Every structure is written in structure tokens, then in C-alpha cells.
Amino acid sequence: MDLRRTSECVVATAALAVTACLGTTTPAGPTPIGDGTRILFVGNSLTYVNDVPGILQALADSAGGERLAVASRALPNYALIDHWTEGVVQREIANGGWAWVVMQQGWTPAGVYRDTLRLAVRNFGGEIAKIGAKVALYQTWPPSNRRGDFPGTIESYELAAADVGGVLFPVARAWLAAWERDPSIQLYSDGLHASPAGSYLAALVMYARVFERSPVGLPSRVRTRGGVALAFDPTVARILQEAAASVTVTTAAR
């Protein structure tokens, strides 16, 4: 994770591949896809790889009831402090209309990374409060060769969410819960990014927290409006759903 501004071309995704190079264009705000409760995702490739917002939206569609409109400002190698420095997200938040703003960066151990995460979340939290939206933290996982850093990054996101009275999406905890059930489940793709199963698990956690209901019983096959298709053996899907429920849903509510 690099806290410096990157000069590489970036991808602003709302399930659409819209590219721009910093320094050559003025970045546009994200455009929501779909109709319903509006959720803005702010993060990096751990959000846009496998289209996590789109998977969440597809799960909501499959369940019936309340629908979601999702948009993202997700750029490679960005920490939240980079988004704050850039300024695009603040302008988009100020435009209003969002019910949720979900924030994410890479694995975040104690020290400068944790400090800047908490600073950026407090900064964004003040802007989000002005429009009456909910703040959510998408808790991510460390690289596969740094599994000992799970506790530290989990704590960093918990502290950041508590700083602003936000909702925590405990995805890293759900990964650990899934491995407790089946250590063979592949949640990494390249040692950093999530596999389709890892992204599906992340979206299950988000679904449980957004709708305050168990994700157990949701489809094992989903297709996002951006064209990402996921299909899992029903047994594997059930394990992932139960792992998500175990870190988000009280026993009485299951």
C-alpha cells in the first residue's frame, strides 16, 4: 500500500471501465448504476476487482425487496488519504443523495498506516455527516504472506469505524471464519486481491450489515450488471454465507 499519489493511469469504476490519467483530465464523479438506495464506494482495487459493489447489488436484486444503486471511486494503490488529497470524493459527497458511503484501503497495520486511515476516515466522516448518510468501513485483509497481520488490520478498521460512529463491514473477520470452517477455500487470487470466493464473501458481509438480515440462503450464482459472473458449488456458497453470518448477525436474528 502506497500512501503517495500515484502517477499511473487510474480506473474509476461503477461496474464500468472508465479510464483517465491523473494530470491529463479532470476526474468525473462516479455515476450510480441501478435504482434504489444509493451507495458510494471509495477505495482501490480491493473494491473493483471482481466488482464487489456489483455483487452486493446483485445479491440485493436476487433477494427481492429493497434495491441498491451503486457507484465507485476506486483507484489502484490508493489509500483513503490519497482520495482526501485528490478532492473528488468530497465533491461527490457534497452533491448529496447517498444513503451510504463505504470506505476501504489496503491492509492497515498499526503505525503510520493506521494513523492515516483514522485521519482520513474522520475527515470524510465530517463531510458524510453533512448529508445525513451512513459511514461504513470495508475491512480488508493482509497479503497471503502476511497472515500474522490479520489482528492488526482488523483492529485498525475497528478503531476507524468507532472514531466516527460508523458501521463496520468485518470482511477480514469473515475470511478467518470461512477458513475455520474449511481451510481449503481459496480466498486469495494473487496473494493480495480476492478470488471470486473472497469477493463474494465480502459482498455477503456487506449485505448482512446493510439489510440487517442473514445472508444464508442467498444464491450461489450471481451476475453483476457490469457482466461479472460468479458460480459456486452450493456447499461452498453455504460455508461462505455462514461465515458472513457468524461475524454480522446475532444468534437471535438468524
- pLDDT of 200 reads 98
> Taking the C-alpha atoms of 166, 43, 24 and 34 in order, what is their torsion angle to the nearest 10 degrees?
-80
- pLDDT of 249 reads 83
| Cross-strand pairs, 21 | 9
Amino acid at site 40: L
Q: Which of 38, 45, 42 is nearest to 11 (CA)?
A: 45
- Angstrom CA distances, 193 to 28, 45, 142, 201, stand at 26, 8, 9, 13
Q: Which of 101, 116, 111 is nearest to 4 (CA)?
A: 116
- pLDDT of 250 reads 66
CATH of 9-21+29-248, one of 3.40.50.1110, 3.30.930.10, 3.90.110.10, 3.40.50.300: 3.40.50.1110
| Cross-strand pairs, 210 | none
- pLDDT of 25 reads 38
What average pLDDT values come out for the chain (254 residues) when binned by 10 residues?
33 30 46 94 98 98 94 97 98 97 97 98 98 98 97 98 98 98 98 98 98 97 95 98 93 39
Work out the burial of residue 146: count CB atoms within 10 Å of its CB; fewer than 13 is exposed, 13-18 middle, 19 or more buried. middle
- pLDDT of 222 reads 96
- Angstrom CA distances, 72 to 16, 92, 170, 223, 251, stand at 9, 11, 19, 18, 33
